[in-house]
């Protein structure tokens, strides 16, 4: 599903070595935490998975596609197989919850009928059925993140990438988000989540990949947060 084979990433503008010979595989249906300090290389991995960057050395495969070999025109179609959730939610403030989710479906050419069927489903999945007509500004941070998750799930992605999804939330809301992510994972979606939230990682007992200054320093099956310990 996701394969990193001896990946090195050197950014051309500042010659920084963001990743150094990193290799790991993520199988279908796995839940993987990506942990490490700022600058450890988590964002570089996510940027490669979203085809924003290509590796300087090595290969990255997502759902069988070599992302270094994809043409500019092929990238959107791979992105449709991946849902993405950001720390800052990235919702459209001028659109309602329903419209924010519909926006993602419209992009892939879904019909109104398909949207009417799917959007209530995903809003129900994230517990926001009653907030469909609300605007993001009328929602709490946790609710906004749930809208962002509903949007990511709208097109049935096989992989969900979550970049610090609980970073802006208190522990109670963060736990709610984690519960929803676990539910999504139980439905068969592969999840890769970058985080600093030590407590959440330790409570989940999922696979933990730890990065430090661009190096993969540990990959534990039912791991714990080890950075700084």
Partner 1 sequence: MAFRELRYFCSEAFKSIFYNILMTLASVITVTGCLLFLGFFTLFSSNLSYIADQIKEECKIVAYIDPALSEAEAKSVGSSILAVPNVSGAEFESKAQAFEGAKKMLGSSRISLDGMEKDGFLRASYAVSCKDLEKSAETAQALRTVGGVQEVKEQQDITDAVLSTTSVIKVALVIAMALLALIAVFIISNTIKLAVFAREKEIHIMKYIGATDSFIRWPFIIEGIFVGLVGGAVSLFSCMAIYGGITSAIANSPFFPFTLRSFGNISGTLTLILLIFGAIMGALGSIIAVRRHLKV
The residues binding partner 1 (CB under 8 A) are 50, 52, 72-73, 76-80, 84, 90, 92, 103-104, 106-109, 111-112, 151, 155
Cβ 183 to partner 1, closest distance in Å?
Answer: 22
Cβ 156 to partner 1, closest distance in Å?
Answer: 12
3-state DSSP helix/strand/coil percent for the chain, to nearest 5? 35, 25, 40
Give the integer Cα–Cα distance in Å for 11 and 18: 7
Nearer to partner 1, 72 or 221 (CB): 72
Nearer to partner 1, 135 or 182 (CB): 135
Cβ 94 to partner 1, closest distance in Å?
Answer: 9
Instruction: Give how far Cα 15 sits from Cα of 9, 11, 44, 138, 192, Å.
Output: 9, 5, 14, 43, 27
Cβ 111 to partner 1, closest distance in Å?
Answer: 7
Cβ 1 to partner 1, closest distance in Å?
Answer: 17
Q: b/e for 52-89, b at 16 or more Cβ within 10 A?
A: ebbbeebbbbbeebebbeeeeeeeeebbeebbbbbbeb
Give the integer Cα–Cα distance in Å for 70 and 191: 23
Crossing angle of helices 171-186/112-125, nearest 10°? 120
Nearer to partner 1, 63 or 218 (CB): 63
Nearer to partner 1, 70 or 175 (CB): 70
Phi/psi at 35 (nearest 5 deg)?
Answer: -120, 160
Nearer to partner 1, 49 or 216 (CB): 49
């Amino acid at each position: 599903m996701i394969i990193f084979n001896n990946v090195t990433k050197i950014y051309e503008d500042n010659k920084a070595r963001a990743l150094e010979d990193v290799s790991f595989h993520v199988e279908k249906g796995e839940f993987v935490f990506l942990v490490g300090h700022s600058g450890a290389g988590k964002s570089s991995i996510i940027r490669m998975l979203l085809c924003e960057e290509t590796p300087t050395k090595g290969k990255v495969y997502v759902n069988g596609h070599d992302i270094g070999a994809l043409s500019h025109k092929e990238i959107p179609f791979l992105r449709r197989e991946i849902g993405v959730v950001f720390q800052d939610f990235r919702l459209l403030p001028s659109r309602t919850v329903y419209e924010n989710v519909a926006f993602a479906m419209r992009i892939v050419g879904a019909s109104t009928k398909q949207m009417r069927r799917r959007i209530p489903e995903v809003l129900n999945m994230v517990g926001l059925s009653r907030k469909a007509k609300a605007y993001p500004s009328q929602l709490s941070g946790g609710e906004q993140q749930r809208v962002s998750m509903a949007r990511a799930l709208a097109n049935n992605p096989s992989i969900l990438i979550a970049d610090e999804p609980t970073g802006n939330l208190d522990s109670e809301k963060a736990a709610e988000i984690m519960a929803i992510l676990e539910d999504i994972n139980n439905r068969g979606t592969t999840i890769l989540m970058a985080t600093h939230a030590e407590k959440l990682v330790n409570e989940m007992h999922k696979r933990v990949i730890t990065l430090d200054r661009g190096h993969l320093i540990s990959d534990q099956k039912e791991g714990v947060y080890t950075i700084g310990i």
